[in-house]
Structure formats: structure tokens, C-alpha cells
Amino acid sequence: MNNRDKTILIVDDTIVNLDILSELLYEYDVVEATNGEEALSIVNEDKIDLILLDIMMPNMDGFEVCQKLKENPQTKDIPIIFITAKIDEASIVKAYDIGGADYVTKPFLPKELLARVKKELQIQDMISELKFLASTDPMTKLYNRRYFSTISEHTLDLVKREKKDLSIIMLDIDKFKKINDTHGHHIGDKVIMHLANKIIICKRKSDISARFGGEEFVILLPNTNINGAKIVAETLRKSVENAHLVYDINNNTLNYTVSLGVSQINLSKNQNIQDGLEQADEALYLAKKTGRNKTISTH
Ligand SMILES: [Mg+2]
């Protein structure tokens, strides 16, 4: 990743310090703030990758800025390097206690500061990569089941608060074992990836899709009632039915179908995600039992 893609916010009430630091960090995209309030408003509006934070500032000092950033889920993960003239042990300890990533005293060695900035940004990149790996199914790049359970709980809280609807689609590939037995597992994998792609195309932007396991997928549809969810399910089903998947270099194609179960979580009865999943699963079972390649809803 290019350094220009990284935005560093420098917060210092002394203009000359801002000038020195901006010049030193010329390879990065730099944003400046001369006080704590300004820093907090910048962080809430722009994507900031790292903050260099002075401690001694009028009104709101650097410790307070740091505490406010750490209290906010949106900003708590931004690494903060304190850069200060305060060299007493208590300040250093406090800086780390409240979540500071590093502590540099003025006057600083320019190349050392650059090295520390670089190291913090590398750690952030590693954390992002790990988060991606932990939440994603490696084959399809859709969310995995574990991440789905976290994000679906958040979504449920949100729709409850806003008194909106929440629906679920569960689907799986019809006769998937036969596809594997006939064509081999590598073609089975191609079918799974093909379906994942169809799901991405057919779902709306706000819908959340995940690979639930094997050939089974789930879509969570916020602000959508069962009728809306049925439309998405049918669009997906038809799109799969009409597709001809090219599976080798000789342009051989295969067709496959999916069955889908649709449910709406009954929030007035205080139903949870698990209830919604079970209902969608029952509907899916019924779709399989009554001939496959169809969408069945709970009501
Ligand atoms: Mg100062």
C-alpha cells in the first residue's frame, strides 16, 4: 500500500510543531488540528489511519482527546502516538493506560519518529488483514458463519430500535452431492463460487450474505418484510436456473438449481435470529421435499 493512502492527523496547539511534523511526514496524507475539539470533529468526518497527539494543549488536553476517541466504537481502533515534552513517568504510564499506542518525547529524532509511525501503520494493516480472514469464507469471499452470527445480532438490535422489519433467506444447491459425484469436487467448488457470485449480484446493497456451511448460504434482509424477501429469493432462484455455468476449457456447461426458504422475524413476539433461521430452514426443507428449485416462505 502506498503511503499516500494513509492519512495521519497531527494535533498540536503550536503551529511550528505542526509545520515540522507535516514536513517530516511528507510521504503521507497529512491533516492538521490545533486543538482537541477540532481533532475530534476531523476524526468523525474523515478516515484517519493514525494520530500524532500532543498532550499539553489548552481546554482539552491530549489525554482527554485520547479518552474520547477510545470511548467511541468508530474511532477506538485508530492508533495514537503521543508526542510531547512531558517526560515524567506518570504521564508516560497514563498515556499507555488510556490506550495510547506509543509515546515519543520532544525533542524527537526525526527518523525514529518516522520508523515508529511506519511500525504502527504496519500493525494496523495486519489487524485489518486478520479481521478480514476471521470474518470471510476463503473460497467465496462472502462472510463466514461466525461473522454472520455477530453482524446479524447487531442488525437485529438496529431494526428493533428503528421498528423496522427483518427477514432471512436460507438456500442451498439442489443435488449438490450428485454434481460432485458426476463432475468431481473441483467442479463442485466452481458451482459454489458461481452461486456466491449470483447472490452478490441479486441481493440488495444493504442485505448481508454469508456462506453458512458446505453448499448452504444465508441472506439477512434488513428493513424488508417477507414479501420483499420473497422477491429477492425468486430473483436469485431464476437467475441460477437460467445460468449456464462453463466449467472447463472446452466450454462445456452445466445447469444447477437452488431451493430457498424465506422467513420474517416476528419482532412483536420478541423472536431472535435463531428463530428466524429455524423458520427459514423449515421452509427450505419443505422446498426440497416438494420438488426443489423453488422458494417457500413461512407465511
Ligand atoms: Mg502543546
pLDDT one-digit tens code per residue, 215-237:
999 999 999 999 999 999 999 99
Position 1 scores a pLDDT of 58
Question: What's the residue count for the chain?
Answer: 299
The structural domains of the chain, ordered by start, are: 3-132 (3.40.50.2300), 145-297 (3.30.70.270)
Q: Which of 112, 215, 234, 278 is catalytic?
A: 215
Measure 119 CA to ligand 1 centroid, in angstroms.
24
Measure 55 CA to ligand 1 centroid, in angstroms.
6
Position 2 scores a pLDDT of 72
Measure 115 CA to ligand 1 centroid, in angstroms.
22
Number of neighbours of residue 140 by Cβ within 10 angstroms: 21
pLDDT one-digit tens code per residue, 250-261:
999 999 999 999
Measure 120 CA to ligand 1 centroid, in angstroms.
22
pLDDT one-digit tens code per residue, 69-102:
999 989 999 999 999 999 999 999 999 999 999 9
pLDDT one-digit tens code per residue, 102-112:
999 999 999 99
Kindly report each contact of residues 65-74 with a partner whose C-beta sits within 8 Å and lies 24 or more positions away, as own/partner.
Answer: 65/11, 65/36, 65/39, 65/40, 66/95, 66/98, 66/99, 66/100, 67/98, 67/99, 68/36, 68/40, 69/40, 69/43, 69/99, 70/98, 70/99, 72/44, 74/44
Which residues make beta-bridge pairs with 260?
Answer: 171, 295
Measure 193 CA to ligand 1 centroid, in angstroms.
55
pLDDT one-digit tens code per residue, 183-205:
999 999 999 999 999 999 999 99
Q: Which residues, chain by chain, have CB under 5 Å from ion ligand 1?
A: 13, 54, 56-57
Measure 163 CA to ligand 1 centroid, in angstroms.
47
Q: Looking at residues 12-24, what average pLDDT do you find? A: 96
Q: Is the whole-model pTM more than 0.85?
A: no
CB 51 within 8 A of CB 33: no
Q: Looking at residues 280-293, what average pLDDT do you find? A: 97
- Over pLDDT 70: what percentage of the chain? 100
Peptide bond into 107 cis (omega under 30): yes
Q: Looking at residues 264-284, what average pLDDT do you find? A: 96
Q: Looking at residues 48-56, what average pLDDT do you find? A: 97
CB 69 within 8 A of CB 78: yes
All cell numbers assigned to 148 = 454472520
pLDDT above 70: residue 209: yes
Measure 57 CA to ligand 1 centroid, in angstroms.
5
Position 4 scores a pLDDT of 84
Kindly report the average pLDDT of the chain as a whole number.
Answer: 96
Can you say how many angstroms the Cα of residue 268 is from the centroid of all Cα atoms in its chain?
A: 29
Sheet holding 102-105, edge to edge: 29-33, 7-11, 50-53, 80-84, 102-105
pLDDT above 90: residue 3: no
Q: Has 64 been annotated as catalytic?
A: no
Position 88 scores a pLDDT of 95
pLDDT one-digit tens code per residue, 122-152:
999 999 999 999 999 999 999 999 999 999 9
Measure 12 CA to ligand 1 centroid, in angstroms.
6
